[in-house]
Amino acid sequence: MRTLTRLAAICAMVVPALFGVSTAAHAEAAPGCSDSYQIGPTALLSWNGESAASVKQFWSPRCQANFAYLYVWQSFRTNHPTGNWSVNVGEIIWDDGMSGWMNYSPSRSTDFWSRAVAGLGQCTRASAAFNFNGVYGNATTDPRCG
């Protein structure tokens, strides 16, 4: 049984590296709102046919705010070791349009947050646009209402 456990642990580390699959990366919490947590499923952002980033939506009960978040995958950074990207990340409020948008350009950072958005009682989605070498990709999460 011990051998199987070790084998499973080794496979969990090696298989993603072999196939260029990003391991599950996650943000701990939105800036200034340490109680925030992800709501809804993660959206995959593709760039030129390649998986490049994850887009997530977070909620903070203490701050009473939603946040959009984008994480650039390690596999994408490895495949593109030079050059910078531009990121726009924000919330889309169903009846009110876009809110909390932040623009990061140029950058090689991995984590990008929107501003806090008062989303309580509204339908919101996290959305992000990604530009690298003049090619754009974007992704939006499923709406969350509440």
Q: The CATH number of the domain where 40 resides is what?
A: 2.60.40
Q: Is residue 2 part of a domain?
A: no
pLDDT confidence of residue 13: 38
Q: pLDDT-derived band of residue 142, with 50, 70 and 90 as boundaries?
A: very high
Q: Is residue 12 part of a domain?
A: no
- Written as one string, the DSSP assignment of 92-145 is EETTTEEEEEEEEEEE--SEEE---B--TTSEEEEEEEEEETTEEEEEEPPPEE
> Beta-carbon neighbour count of residue 15 at 10 Å?
11
Give the domain range for residue 85.
Answer: 25-145
Q: Is residue 8 part of a domain?
A: no
Element (H, E) at 70: strand 65-72
Q: Is residue 85 part of a domain?
A: yes
Domain count, the chain: 1
pLDDT digits (tens, 9 = 90+) for 77-109: 999 999 999 999 999 998 778 899 999 999 999
Q: Is residue 32 part of a domain?
A: yes
Q: Is residue 73 part of a domain?
A: yes
Q: pLDDT-derived band of residue 7, with 50, 70 and 90 as boundaries?
A: very low
pTM, 2 dp: 0.80
Q: Is residue 5 part of a domain?
A: no
Q: Is residue 109 part of a domain?
A: yes
